[in-house]
Amino acid sequence: MRIFLLATVFCAVFCSVHAAIPLSSRQDDFDYPADSEGDEDMQGDTDTGNYYDDDKEEKNVEPITEKNRNRVEEPAVILTRPSIFENNIGDSIVLPCKTPGNDSVIIWYKNDDILFQDAVTLHAKANHNLKKDSLEINNLQKEDAGQYRCVSMVSERNKAAITHEVKVKYSPIVTELSVKNNETTLKVGAELVLTCRAKGYPEPVISWHKETIKEGRTVNERFDATGNVLTIPSVTRRDEGRYLCFADNKIGKPSLEYINITLTHLPVVSIEEFIVNSDKEMDTELKCTVKAKPRADVVWLRNGIVLHSSSHIKMSNQDNEHILTLKGLRESDFGQYVCSANNSLGAIEKSINLVKTPAIREFIKPERPTKDLVLTWKVESKAPIIEHELQYRRKGDSEWRSVKPTVHGTDDGVYVIKYTLKELDEGSYETRCRSRNEHGWSDYTEVTLVEFDKAHHSKHGNKKAHKHNKDKSSDVEQSQQPQKESEIGESKNPSSASSTTAPLLLCSISILYLYFSRL
């Protein structure tokens, strides 16, 4: 019985200890000796090194004697470190080049030119002075900027060198201001490319300006763009004028140059009043404004026939404004007039109707929202107005509704049409009007679109805010969802289980064997 218990305890201890040692640590526990022939040593060293014949090497060495001792050279050394010098014009600077004092030759270079070779002056300027262990430059000029190299030479193969950089601060100078293809006259719609270059240290910052006349005085408007190039992809008439390039580096005054850009374009004809009301035996003026580059020739036509000055017709111009004056209107004077302007780029024309019927001048928009829609027009008529007609309809409807506003008194031939549309539904409305005098009805005005909104409220804003809060809360709920946990019993290191399986199995078999043998 004792033998059985001792055997059982021994097996249990053996199994526990053996199971606690990882398989990987039990492998390769033994030292394997290298093969006795032709193998490398255990550290991988091979017998392939270089060997020297000491006796043979000693025969080639010349012994150091008093005779050849002086031929041993000291290495060339410069104790000074390279530096960057930034100074203003007129300053004096000292460029150091300190050596230990051996028998070396000192050579100074500026870029690729030799200034001094020891005490010999070669390409040095009058303001260059050679000092002990340094080079002095007096009354510094911008031409003195560059790289200065100090070489300490003991022999051709034994030398040392350092390089100092000298930078001279000076105010900027614009060296170029040009336009692409050297074309200072461009057509409207063309691309404008200006280039400006400047010198100076520190490097100048370039800004672009254009002269503009405001309130009778010339001012410089600055462009947002900076850099050497200013590009306007498609120029308009407003882009004509003088362009300035400013170069500034905060040293002295900025430098500037300018260039004039001229734009050519078709005539631009503008009409102040397309319908002019008058009456027989009255004097009337028709006006048109023409701007063109190159200058345009302007003619007046009536019913397709070119007009000429006479006692009844007078044509004049002041700056860009061209005026046709008709004295003592006749019945034949009423009709369509054309102001035609022509230059080398083409012709443009605009029409004016001279009528006896009323002329609608302008629609006046409501100044502030009201519960009703108030519509107002101005009408001109030399003859008294008999009646007005106002038409309106909801946008999209086909039928017009008509009302008759009251005719109010005149103010120098100008009447006001004013009418309030009540109890309208909210929405968009199209409106037009006309007036009648003794000569008949005027044409309807062009359709004017009016928005009518009694009380504007943004209902969609609350919905969007509600949806945003809903989406936000949904995101919070998703972020609070717990992460999926590993399943119970899942091994994070699969190899650890297999490392203990074999020893435990061996122990179990041993215990079972002893138990059954005891029986």
**Coil, strand or helix at 231:** strand
pLDDT digit string (tens) for 184-219? 999 999 999 999 999 999 999 999 999 988 777 888
More confident residue, 337 or 73: 337
Edge-to-edge strand list for the sheet holding 275-277: 275-277, 346-355, 335-343, 297-302, 305-306
pLDDT digit string (tens) for 414-469? 998 889 888 888 889 999 999 999 999 999 999 999 888 765 433 333 443 344 44
The residue among 375, 374, 425 whose CA lies nearest residue 395 is: 425
Mean pLDDT of the chain: 79
Residue 71, CA atoms < 13 Å, CB-side half-sphere: 7
Q: How far apart are CA 374 and CA 371, in angstroms?
A: 9
Confidence of residue 55 (pLDDT cuts 50, 70, 90): very low
Torsion of CA 466, 469, 474, 477, to 10 degrees: -140
The residue among 435, 433, 464 whose CA lies nearest residue 447 is: 433
Tell me the three-class secondary structure of 20-89, residue by residue.
HCCHHHHCCCCCCCCCCCCCCCCCCCCCCCCCCCHHHHHHHCCCCCCCCHHHCCCCCCCCCCCCEEEEEC
Question: CA angle at residue 285 from 361 to 390, to 5 degrees?
Answer: 15
Q: How far apart are CA 344 and CA 397, in angstroms?
A: 49
Is-contact 93 140, C-beta < 8 A? yes
Is-contact 419 407, C-beta < 8 A? no
Is-contact 78 152, C-beta < 8 A? yes
Domains of the chain, CATH where assigned: 84-169 (2.60.40.10), 171-265 (2.60.40.10), 272-355 (2.60.40.10), 359-452 (2.60.40.10)
Residue 77 burial (10 A CB sphere; 0-12, 13-18, 19+): middle
pLDDT given for residue 212 in this prediction: 84
Q: How far apart are CA 477 and CA 320, in angstroms?
A: 72
pLDDT digit string (tens) for 130-140? 998 999 999 99
Q: How far apart are CA 161 and CA 149, in angstroms?
A: 7
More confident residue, 252 or 8: 252
pLDDT digit string (tens) for 36-53? 344 433 333 433 333 333
pLDDT digit string (tens) for 152-167? 999 888 999 999 999 9
Q: How many CB atoms lie within 10 A of CB 430?
A: 16
Tell me the three-class secondary structure of 342-357, residue by residue.
EECCEEEEEEEEEECC
Q: How far apart are CA 206 and CA 204, in angstroms?
A: 6
Q: Which residue has the tokens 């374009």?
A: 265
Q: How far apart are CA 227 and CA 207, in angstroms?
A: 7
Which stretch of DSSP H or E encloses residue 364? strand 359-364
The residue among 217, 186, 86, 107 whose CA lies nearest residue 152 is: 107
pLDDT given for residue 2 in this prediction: 47
Which stretch of DSSP H or E encloses residue 218? strand 217-226
Is-contact 503 23, C-beta < 8 A? no
Q: How far apart are CA 112 and CA 115, in angstroms?
A: 9
Q: How far apart are CA 375 and CA 380, in angstroms?
A: 17
Alpha helices in 79-197 (DSSP H): none
Confidence of residue 304 (pLDDT cuts 50, 70, 90): confident
Highest mean pLDDT among 14-23, 100-109, 253-262: 253-262
The residue type found at 491 is S
pLDDT at 26 over 80: no
Is-contact 205 250, C-beta < 8 A? no
Buried b (16+ CB within 10 A) or exposed e, 323-337: ebebeebeeebbeeb
The two three-digit tokens of residue 100, written as one number:
């230990």
